[in-house]
Structure 1
Amino acid sequence: MSDNRKLNNIFWKTYLNCIILGVLSMSSVKAFERASTNDNRVIIKKMVLEQAAKIGVSAPLALAVAHAESNFNPYAKSTKGARGVMQIMPATSLGEYGIAPDKLWNPKVNISVGLHYLKKLLIRYRGRVDLALSFYNGGSAVDRKGIGRPQVIPYTQKYVMKVTRLRFTYQKQLGLGNF
């Protein structure tokens, strides 16, 4: 069974059992939803760590990007159409990796595509995390226009700073030294 289906099954079985037992007041429904969301985040974080190790992206950076993009929500969708944990645009998924847009709702696929794309940008910009993050956030269309010396895209500066702060937070949580 896929991880996505496991998440849904756990949520609905527990939720329905609570309704049947009549133990859900409005405040406990909200508490239950928060707890379920936290459980889902733990599962998603584990997937991010597994894929980061497999693909060769630092764990703190991978977690920071997933956190900034969707707060580990596999069902997140931006107003521009980016999908899933890593907020992948369907055009990027299809154009760069040949993966159909509907597959982006699978967290494992989404995380894999996002981390492969991030690694590609890290290589392209010779390990400059700030540039890789700027172009990750700015999109593949902006990346293809890059002529001359690359610079952080002005409208992505807040995003780059946010991910950098989160990266240091996850580095501390994971007990890692300098990276």
Structure 2
Amino acid sequence: MTRPVLHSRRVCLLSLCGALLPSGLAHAGRQIEEPLSHAVRSALSAAVAAAAPPEPLLPTASDQQSYAQWQTASSLRLSRYKKHPTERQEFLQTLWYEARRAGLPLSLVLGVVQVESAFRKYAISSAGARGYMQVMPFWARLIGDGDDSRLFHMQTNLRFGCVILRHLLDRERGDLFMGLGRYNGSRGQAAYPQAVLSAQRLWMHPAD
């Protein structure tokens, strides 16, 4: 099977079959803490710093319409997990901002969140990973301010998750299969990438 490659920060989708986990389960693995060079650590630290309010950058009427349509369609799907409309809107706005900032497809990030935490803000895995994108606490020490309790903050968690996923995909030279496995701590195994790619297909939208 040929593995998908992320070119120009866009995802080439794989046609994979994988059963999604029940919505109440967190699927985080035991991500390995790897040594980072000073340059990489500095770049990642800068990427997660200065968490400004996630205001969408929508310069044209077409951009605004596309974003509104994505919000509406995604909010409808998300209602299965989040009942309150305002909570859904704030979550999707923040995810849109952080995914775009990291150069990741919206559907990919939504697929990761669905599989990792089933959209539970305070999810904790058996390995200690936290929040929506199941970020391991060691990342707060490596590239943050050391306060791992902030990983339960919505924007902080999504920013860390997107920055880390972008970094790991780049480490794997755009290989989505290997990058997702590395994010989960199961590099080279098929179950997690298959689950994320299956979930991603449910969130696909022209605005992606």
Q: What interval of TM-score do these two structures reach, taking the shorter chain for normalisation?
A: 0.5 to 0.7
Aligned match of 2:90: 43
Which portions of structure 1, spanning 4 or more consecutive aligned residues, are displaced by more than 4 angstroms? none
Aligned length: 129
- Greater fraction helix: 1
Aligned match of 2:192: 159
User: In the superposition, relative to structure 1, how do residues 159 and 42 fare at CA in structure 2: closer, same or farther (>3 Å)?
Assistant: farther
Aligned match of 1:169: 202
What is the CA-CA distance between 1:95 and the residue it aligns to? 1.9
In the alignment, is the contact (CA less than 8 A) between 1:121 and 1:136 conserved in 2?
yes
Q: Distance in 2 between matches of 1:90 and 1:106?
A: 13
What is the CA-CA distance between 1:153 and the residue it aligns to? 2.6
User: In the superposition, relative to structure 1, how do residues 96 and 168 fare at CA in structure 2: closer, same or farther (>3 Å)?
Assistant: same
Matches within 5 A, 1:22-33: none
- The question of 1:134 aligning with 2:169 is answered no
What is the CA-CA distance between 1:41 and the residue it aligns to? 4.2
Aligned match of 1:60: 107
- Extract unaligned runs of 5+ from structure 2: 1-52, 54-78
Normalised by the length of structure 2, the TM-score is 0.56
Q: Distance in 2 between matches of 1:125 and 1:163?
A: 17
Aligned match of 1:88: 135
Q: Deviations over 1:111-150 (max 9, x none)?
A: 00000000001111111111110000007xxxxxxxxxxx
Q: Identity, % of aligned pairs?
A: 27
In the alignment, is the contact (CA less than 8 A) between 1:86 and 1:110 conserved in 2?
yes
What is the CA-CA distance between 1:70 and the residue it aligns to? 1.0
- Extract unaligned runs of 5+ from structure 1: 4-33, 140-151
In the alignment, is the contact (CA less than 8 A) between 2:131 and 2:152 conserved in 1?
yes
RMSD of equivalent CA atoms: 2.4
Q: Aligned letter for 2:127?
A: K
In the alignment, is the contact (CA less than 8 A) between 2:81 and 2:119 conserved in 1?
no
Considering Cα pairs closer than 8 Å and 6+ residues apart, tell me whether 1 or 2 has the greater RCO: 2
Structure with max Cα Rg: 1
